[in-house]
Every structure is written in structure tokens, then in C-alpha cells.
Amino acid sequence: MRAPVESGQKRPTSNPSLLAWVDEMAKMCKPDRVYWCDGSPEEKQRLTEEAVAGGVLIPLDQKKLPGCYFHHSNPNDVARVEHLTFICTPTKEEAGPTNNWMAPQEAYHKLAAIYDGAMKGRTLYVVPYVMGPARSPFAKVGIELTDSVYVALNMGIMTRMGKVALDRLGPTSAEFNKGLHSVADCNPERRFICHFPQDNTIWSVGSGYGGNALLGKKCLALRIASYLAKNEGWLAEHMLILEAESPTGEKRYVAGAFPSACGKTNFAMMIPPKAFQGWKIRTVGDDIAWMRVGEDGRLWAVNPEYGYFGVAPGTNRKTNPNAMDTIKKDTLYTNVARTKDGDVWWEGMDGEVPAELIDWKGQPWKKGSAEKAAHPNSRFTAPVQNNPALSPSYDDPKGVPIDAIIFGGRRSTTVPLVLQSFDWKHGVYLGATMGSETTAAATGAVGVVRRDPMAMLPFCGYDMGSYLRHWLDMEKRIPKPPKVFLVNWFRKSQDGKFLWPGYGDNMRVLKWMLDRCQGAVGAQETALGFTPKAGDLDVRGLEHADIAGATRIDLGEWAGELESQTEWFQKIGKTLPRELEQQRQDLLAKVKAAK
């Protein structure tokens, strides 16, 4: 029996594949009503009022923060759950050793039992959405069915949602991602995020948190899209896209992969230092890039998203002034702290710590408390149009041509400020072995390097060795490939101080990389790659930086680094491309010979 459609609402499509699937899922989940989202401003207002009435959203001070609302999630549901995220391929080998695997039929059976009747008493929201500019040949259509009005409102910010997606799908196409989401009883014991690449399907249950519940983001745009990209000959990557315009008006574009806590959004929204007057940095995207080979032989990228789902703690006027301006209006805040007069606060925000706050759980909080006022993973969801540094090309159907690909992790030693690869193969190797150091709180040991190839370890939708093979194979597809660089903003001196100031001063490194792409600046060839020579980096006006220390190559440290990578390569297993192991061996031989 079909679940009732909301009174007075006509189904906005006649697409038989879509209608049949919605009916089938509604029959299983048994909602009281089914509502089809159209993406209109009127609908946003109506759903927001519904969410406020139901206690899902709390209005903030509408004079200080117009259009902004607060949401606090279940305390057991505050982050992505990698250990409960599964790739459901016919064989375990297809998922690979770095992913959790579940057989497709087992996953469908297990989750169907949880979905059965999970939406009783609730509304099922049908959320049609497009990832990518709506008129772009890159774009993909998804349909998310959810029982969370919070998710529906977030998808309205993060994607091109509603009628635009149904128009793109058309009346007959069955080419859409089938995403089913239910918070259900929000029980961690009954929480699963399952991806079925061969079926272009995502089932997520038991969580209302963004990365687990906004299925267009990590689930479709990376895990499913990376699988599609392998089969279709393109790249779906966890990368920012940045536009750099010189004082003469020349525009260049870079894509950059950084694991969490490595300054990715800050780099995408960077404000250049005073010495770079006339330069403009604009954001095309801050998190995901879909890249295809254009007719001109270059790699062209689009940002599939339409909003920012950013981490709040640590965001302030120094680290990211453009983000602070972006979140002033029409923003949903999740698990931040609040002031009693309806403002928001988090650790690392500008100004004095307030004497009293309402913490992320809704409890009273006083200055000096041992507990965090905002959750460390508290978030903001804001429209891209709010960004004062938004590139006009963010919605270009063709995308933008990528001049350079940048890989960067958080390393206190070994990895220099910037390193250019010798060629594409060496660049893939640098991306495949990049990583960040863990903390004692997380692992019980300080300085353990967690390898995170291309920052895709949690987001690759298939076997990691096959993913790296696809990267190597892309060289044959790209007649004019981008240059590849490795950066590290986080190198420290022996007394624990950062050698490089970071933030806006990263423009100095970006300028050198862009000049290298054009052959306009020199470099020093080392055993590991090309680094800036003394005087190559523009350091005008820069104080308190140890340029020599930040850019130094320590061959002893690198010998240990290269030898330590064997453990990571062994974990990838038999599908590791032999070219990458050969790269490691060749570099190790060069390092030892140069010592």
C-alpha cells in the first residue's frame, strides 16, 4: 500500500523508475506522509518553521544572525562513523583492505529490518538534488529519502535541490543515485552507512549527523563517485579548488587534497598578505573536486557542492575571515555553544570567552569549565553565495582548468614546506604516501603517521590499490597534466615552534607553485623532488619564519620515512601498483647515495 502523499501536493514527476522506487521504500519505512521537496524559498521557510515548532531548530538572534538557526544532535551522534561505514561490493577484494566490507544481500537484509516501520509517525521527505552545476555534463542526480527535516534543510543548502534535479533527470531516465536515510531510533548499535557501488545506491540508518546523513556529500560525491570515475575515466577527489588572479588579471586554478585539521578550507578562502597587493584568491570549492579531461587536453574541475559544511572550532578572523563573513546569515549551526542573547560561540573564536554560555548539549556552561562549550566537531552549513571570495566560475558547467594539484598533510618533521614532483608518476607516489601525525589522545603515541592517500582513505568507494592504479592510468588520458606538489605548513623546530606562519602567508608558496607551472621561477633539484632555491620564495614583509628550516631536506629523516612506507604498502596488498613500490625503492637508493 502506498504511503499517503501530503494533502494537496501533486507528485512533481511522472518518471516511472523514480516513482516505483519511492513507493517501494515508503512501503518498507511506513511514514505517515510523503512530501516531495521543490527547493523553493517558500518551502525553505515552511520547513524551517516546521523544524522550529518540533524543537529540531532553535532560532538565533535574527538581527545579529539573520536566517540562522541552531541544532543540537543526539550526544551519541556527533561525527562520521568510519567503523560503521561499509562498501557493499560482490566480493571483499573489490572493497579492498582499507574499507569495511559487507556482502550486498547481507547489508540489504540487515538494514531492511531496521528500516521496517522506522518512519511511523514521521514524514518521508523526497529530496531530489544535483551534484555539480545543473547544466554541466559532469553533474549527477541523486534522490535522498529522509525522515529528518534537518537533513532536508541541509540538503537545500549543500546541493542544487528540488525541481532543478527532477528537470535534469527527466521523465524517463533511471540514472539517479538511490539514497535512503532514516534516523530511526538513533541507536549506535543499529547505525550503518552502506554503499552499493554497482547499484548506485546508499542506505544510511541510525544517524542524523551530516557526513552520515547528507548523502550527496561524502557518500555520493566521493565514495560512489570515485567508483563511477574509475569506470568512466575521470577523478572524484577530496580536494579544494582555488582560483588565483594575478595583478595583471591572469587566472590560474589549483586543486588541493588535505586530510582533516590541515587547513583545507582556510587555504581555499585565503587572503593574501600585504606584500601581494593586487592578487585575489577566490574559492571554487572547499572540499570536493570532480575532474575530467577537457577537449584541450587539460584537466578540468567542478565543485559538485553548493554550500560549505565546515568545522566551527578554530575558525576566526585570523584563520579564515572569509568563512566568518560567510556564516553571518542563512546558516545552520550544529553543536556549537550559544550565548543567552541568541549568538553563537566556539573554542578558538575571536574575543573574550563569555562568562556564561549554553553548551552544545543545551546545558549551562561557565568560563573555566573543564568541558568544551562547543563540540570539537561542531559545524556550520552555509550557502556558497555567502562567500565574499566566491569565484564567478563556481557554477560554470565546463568547470575550471587545473594548473597544479597539491597534496598536504600535518607533519612536524621530514616533509619540507613545498616539494614539486619530478613527473606525474612521482606525484601520484607523493599523494599515495602522504599522511598526518596523530596525537597521544587519539592513539597513545605521539607522532605516529597515519597514511591518508590523496586524503581519500575514509572516502574511497573501492579497493585502494585499484584507486592508485587509476591515478597512474590517468596520465595516458591527460595530454597536458597539471604539475604535482607536496606541501607541509606544520613543520616545527626542535623546541616545538612552527617554522612557517601559515594562513595568508601560504600565498607565498602558492605563488612559487604557480610560477613553476609556467616555468617562470627556478628550483633546486634534490633526491626527493624540486624545492625553492634561496630567494625563490617571495618573503617580503615576512617575520618570524625560518625559511631555511621549513624548506630543508634531511636525508637521514627521509631514509627512515621511505623505509617506514613499506608497512603502508603491505597493507594495501597485492593490488598496489608495482610502479609505486619501484618509486619508493628508487628514491631510497638516491637518498642513501646522497647522504
Task: Collapse the DSSP code of 269 into the 3-class scheme (helix H, G, I; strand E, B; otherwise coil) and give the result.
Answer: coil
Q: What distance in Å separates the CA atoms of residue 326 and residue 394, rounded to the nearest whole number?
A: 15
User: Is there a binding annotation on residue 210?
Assistant: yes
Total Cβ atoms within 10 A of residue 67 = 17
Total Cβ atoms within 10 A of residue 339 = 15
User: Is there a binding annotation on residue 238?
Assistant: yes
User: Is there a binding annotation on residue 439?
Assistant: no
Choosing from 68, 194, 219, 262, which is the catalytic residue? 262
User: Is there a binding annotation on residue 523?
Assistant: no
User: Is there a binding annotation on residue 379?
Assistant: yes
User: Is there a binding annotation on residue 506?
Assistant: yes
User: Is there a binding annotation on residue 544?
Assistant: no
User: Is there a binding annotation on residue 142?
Assistant: no
Task: Collapse the DSSP code of 60 into the 3-class scheme (helix H, G, I; strand E, B; otherwise coil) and give the result.
Answer: coil
User: Is there a binding annotation on residue 209?
Assistant: yes
User: Is there a binding annotation on residue 552?
Assistant: no
User: Is there a binding annotation on residue 252?
Assistant: no
Q: What distance in Å separates the CA atoms of residue 322 and residue 262, rounded to the nearest whole number?
A: 17
User: Is there a binding annotation on residue 260?
Assistant: yes
User: Is there a binding annotation on residue 13?
Assistant: no
12-38 CB burial, b ≥16 within 10 A, e <16: ebebeebeebbeebbebbbbebbbbbb
Secondary structure string (H, E, C) spanning 349-384: CCCCCCCEEECCCCCEEECCCCCCCCCCCCEEEEEH
User: Is there a binding annotation on residue 218?
Assistant: yes
Active-site residue flag, 262: yes
Assign residue 278 a region: left if phi > 0, alpha if psi is -120 to 50, beta otherwise? left
User: Is there a binding annotation on residue 316?
Assistant: no
The continuous run of DSSP H or E covering 43 comes out as helix 41-53
* Cβ 335 vs Cβ 374: under 8 Å: yes
Tell me the pairing of strands 307-311 and 337-338: unpaired
Q: What distance in Å separates the CA atoms of residue 375 and residue 338, rounded to the nearest whole number?
A: 12
* Cβ 483 vs Cβ 421: under 8 Å: yes
Task: Collapse the DSSP code of 158 into the 3-class scheme (helix H, G, I; strand E, B; otherwise coil) and give the result.
Answer: helix
- Annotated binding-site positions: 80, 209-211, 218, 238, 260-266, 287, 377-379, 410, 503-506
- Annotated binding-site positions for GTP: 261-266, 379, 410, 503-506
Known catalytic residues are 262
